[in-house]
Structure 1
């Protein structure tokens, strides 16, 4: 995919990249669902058996009508038994149809759930660089809309299609048995009608894929804007954004209408052509009855078989449209499912010591972001950090400070050089094991749509309530949580909208304290706070930093005066390092920044 090959990509291109292995012609794309269907082969067999029995039962109905007409109305015949037989056939047919419908619906729902889970798990494995060029709204559209299309086909349309196919084939066979001459004419006319439909079907598949892409564009746009409502409203851009969404929706509508038009044309052609051919054949049959070469019962059964055959073709036309849409949806889902994580665990990962010390060594590290391959984000950076040391990283925006944290968390791999954790190159470690040793408090902490206790427990899922309370007290979060309407059980709202910035930060600090990692990363943890909140958050941070290696990114130099060492970065390089006092005396970049902030 484009986000993996180092080339810049648009937000749409990467999500729609089409690896050769993932692209299958037409409905053949549905074969990629076979691994998901295989675990339920027993239920599939039951559904097929019910389908075969039901179809065979249905095909006996015209024979029963033939006997009723030719024999039931003869003087002295027991007409009642013929109607009893017809009722029993219909009852048995209904039971087998119900069994098939329930079984197939269960399979469709189960496979859809499995597919959603598999795609979601694969997305959770992707590194941040994947989402540099893949919009989350696009992914969500595939997880919802596309999986619903797959569910419709697997849980309904395929079953209806197979039933109609058997109905069509069985009807043709019985037509041949009933009257070979009329059958031959019928088959020739059907071939003339169906062949042009195949060409229309190919065009319909392309339109189905395009329609789903347009819907995904609208979903991605809506998700982006709804997550930025304060900014949209602050700049009074509501009308402009509504108009932009209208354009996207109209594009989706136009494509959908075009697809529906082609599908309607295909359906009308099939049904009209097939029924026209059958009406013509029936006219010939009526001539045979008049000539005495067919009985009235044979013509009646031929009519019913012709109706079954035509009905089967009509349903197949409808189902084929669904299948083509589901084929496009399957392609899109399989593109996500086949996306390999850029950051993966080695085949035989190294193991950290039982008590990691969080000693860090960067040796001539250079790095370029995949979306900006011509620009060095880090340039030949070498740095050693001792166990328990507090190091602050300062410098202007774009200096490479956050990039350093991204590499430490192994969201990206270094382009050159090495980055070692306790003497082990982090590329030799399982990313999950590495990240389990790191706590992160960012400038804009993520607060989930849950209560306070669950948000803090996110730091360590198995923690007891008392451990959560203790972490909250250490982070100075207990005092405001206790004042919430339901205390720790208070729902904090989406993205923590019910909390202030300082309160969200203290929740994040409590989460890091609960995790209790040997390495703590603080990324601009106080830069967006007012003075009073900064004092409270800083006190919580001091508790979090106690007894562990800490790296601090800060623009406010007042927050890093207690650091053991300060590293000054500019344009991806380390240009100064030393204690705060040493750097103030050196007259370099840190001294100039300090004269602007600290003196003022």
Structure 2
């Protein structure tokens, strides 16, 4: 469903669509609410008749059944109706709570599954903090919308029960009240539309605020370095004020629904009372019962109006969540089934790729990597090196040409088969909050403790781990903050080696490390040389002297692909980089 289609729907119809998976529970809720409304209406009619009989000294007379034999009969019937109403009320409360929990879980599942099943391009383009906000406060709004819907259904069917009872008691007076309710509902319709518009503005400013907080929060080092703490605070303060003001307006407009409706409803009652004072009233009991029923009906109508305001306010949140899910589902990760005997030879064959249509990041690149080779990739910043890594990993597909795995197009390969044989080490190690073992295993439950120990040894971090207070069971703090930069990088390498990959791709693995950490990682790579096919994207020439071949990428083109000794005598970029490194 497109966002445009979503916006063309009313808030209520949109929520009804969301409620379709829960039809059975909502049907039960509807039945319980309707019967509960009839029981409550019957109780009020019985009590009205009883009180009038006490005032007149005569036997109770009900509008429908006429005189009853005793007051105890009325008390018994009223008590039974009251108890049954309580039971049904508790049932509707349970169903409402169950539906709220189910909707929260279901929509968080739908959002997260749709996001994780989308392709890398879609995930990378997602603004920082947006998914968290959608799964947090936005899904809470979906829950509130569903809760409002169930409350509205309960109130509406209770109201129908009251009106139905009123028709039996005094049809003319009931019709008059029903007409008044319809008119009042029409009068406040523009107010609901205003609530929708203001809530949409509030939704937009909230997302902008969350995105800015996430972005600025990740720039703490730069804030300290460039001395712009005051500007950061001013930006957050401004966005917070805008978001709060938009929310305040929406809350105020929503809050006006109840007092405005109450004023109009009681004005109608006052007018009706003035009209009744000018005519003679025959059946006082019937009129009293209808008045009591309609007064209670007004409270249900008021509840329905409040629900409609809540749904109007939640509508932009519902649209945003639904549009996000649709956007993720429209860009699924590639699904294919082919498998190769080996991941090598691995080749880029005349590959071109562009992030933007008018600017190629890679142009007609051709590289072939044989089994057990260590291949380096060098070039200026922005030349296309990281693009090569993403293409080789299968995170992106070329606009032209092919990435070949054992002679087969990577785009046609079984993704599960591929990820079991390929691993990756990023420039900035991404550790999670957990233990050492959990970070190396990284949700791959098939990896046993012996494999974790072996991976740590091959990554030259085993001694560091054993020196920790609880070894592999040591908790590393939030996102691994208890480790140094070099330890974090070597732990990331251990993670990549835990599955004994055939292909290992490393993106600037030593760019921000001290010489000791770089040496340890270099030793790890040397030990892996020959047993694991490796592609290393690097600036530091010391990492590349182990390579069998080096690809030089300049302005998106592979300008050379040869052994380091050949490049040292033939390639100007390599010679210049080596000279700068030595100096």
What's the TM-score, normalizing by structure 1? 0.90
Q: CA deviation at 1:344?
A: 3.1
Which residue, 123, 140, 148 being the options, matches 1:157?
148
Aligned to 2:64: none
Aligned to 2:282: 293
Aligned to 2:139: 147
2:343–2:421 CA contact under 8 A, matched in 1: no
What's the TM-score, normalizing by structure 2? 0.92
Note if 1:397 corresponds to 2:381: yes
Aligned to 2:128: 136
Note if 1:309 corresponds to 2:297: yes
- Per-residue CA deviation, residues 44-85 of structure 1 (Å, 9 max, x unaligned), is 333233222212211212210232134455547543443343
Unaligned runs of 5+ residues in structure 2 are 60-69
Note if 1:89 corresponds to 2:81: yes
Q: Distance in 1 between matches of 2:519 and 2:505?
A: 19
Q: Distance in 2 between matches of 1:305 and 1:421?
A: 77
Aligned to 2:467: 483
Note if 1:258 corresponds to 2:264: no
Aligned to 1:99: 91
Q: CA deviation at 1:544?
A: 4.2
Which residue, 326, 340, 355 being the options, matches 2:314?
326
1:26–1:205 CA contact under 8 A, matched in 2: no
- Per-residue CA deviation, residues 526-565 of structure 1 (Å, 9 max, x unaligned), is 1111111111122223344441211111100111111111
Q: Distance in 2 between matches of 1:381 and 1:216?
A: 40
Q: Distance in 2 between matches of 1:343 and 1:383?
A: 28
Structure 1 residues 18, 203: CA separation in 2 closer, same or farther (over 3 Å shift)? farther
Aligned to 2:395: 411
Q: Distance in 1 between matches of 2:288 and 2:332?
A: 68
Q: Distance in 2 between matches of 1:576 and 1:265?
A: 72
Which residue, 111, 116, 120 being the options, matches 1:119?
111
Q: CA deviation at 1:285?
A: 3.9
- Per-residue CA deviation, residues 2-40 of structure 1 (Å, 9 max, x unaligned), is xxxxxxxxxxxxxxx964444442222224424xx52x4
- Per-residue CA deviation, residues 215-258 of structure 1 (Å, 9 max, x unaligned), is 22222222223333333333333332222111111111111122
Which residue, 177, 200, 207 being the options, matches 1:209?
200
- Per-residue CA deviation, residues 83-134 of structure 1 (Å, 9 max, x unaligned), is 3433332222111100111122112201210110110111112333224543
Note if 1:351 corresponds to 2:338: yes
1:365–1:381 CA contact under 8 A, matched in 2: yes
Q: CA deviation at 1:464?
A: 1.2
SS in 2 for 1:515: coil
1:557–1:597 CA contact under 8 A, matched in 2: yes
1:442–1:523 CA contact under 8 A, matched in 2: yes
Aligned to 1:12: none
Q: Distance in 2 between matches of 1:546 and 1:310?
A: 82
Q: CA deviation at 1:146?
A: 1.4
Q: Distance in 2 between matches of 1:185 and 1:494?
A: 65
Q: Distance in 1 between matches of 2:384 and 2:136?
A: 38
Note if 1:423 corresponds to 2:404: no
Q: CA deviation at 1:400?
A: 0.6
SS in 1 for 2:188: helix
Instruction: Report matched runs for 1:61-80 at 5 Å.
Output: 61-73=43-55, 75=57, 77=59, 78-80=70-72
Structure 1 residues 358, 56: CA separation in 2 closer, same or farther (over 3 Å shift)? farther
Q: Distance in 1 between matches of 2:23 and 2:180?
A: 38
Unaligned runs of 5+ residues in structure 1 are 1-16
Q: CA deviation at 1:175?
A: 3.4
Structure 1 residues 303, 286: CA separation in 2 closer, same or farther (over 3 Å shift)? farther
